[in-house]
Structure 1
Amino acid sequence: MTSPVLALRAAIRGACAPDAALASLMDPAIHDETPRGNPPVYATFGTTELRDASSSTERGHEQDIALDVWAKRGSAASALAAADRLCALLDDAALAPAGHRLVSLAVTKLEAALDEESAATRVTLHLRAVTEVLP
Structure 2
Amino acid sequence: MTFWERSDSGMLTVLHQRGDYAGLQVRDLDDSWITVPVSPDTLVINIGDLMARWTNDRWPSTRHRVVAAPDTTSTRDSIAAFHLPNVDTVIAPLEPFVGADGPRYEPVTPYVWEAMFLAEYDRRVPS
Which band: TM-score by shorter chain? under 0.3
Judging by fraction of residues, say which structure has more strand.
1
Question: Which is bigger in relative contact order (C-alpha 8 A, separation at least 6)?
Answer: 2
Could you state the TM-score of these two structures normalised by the residue count of structure 2? 0.28
Could you state the TM-score of these two structures normalised by the residue count of structure 1? 0.27
Larger Rg: 2
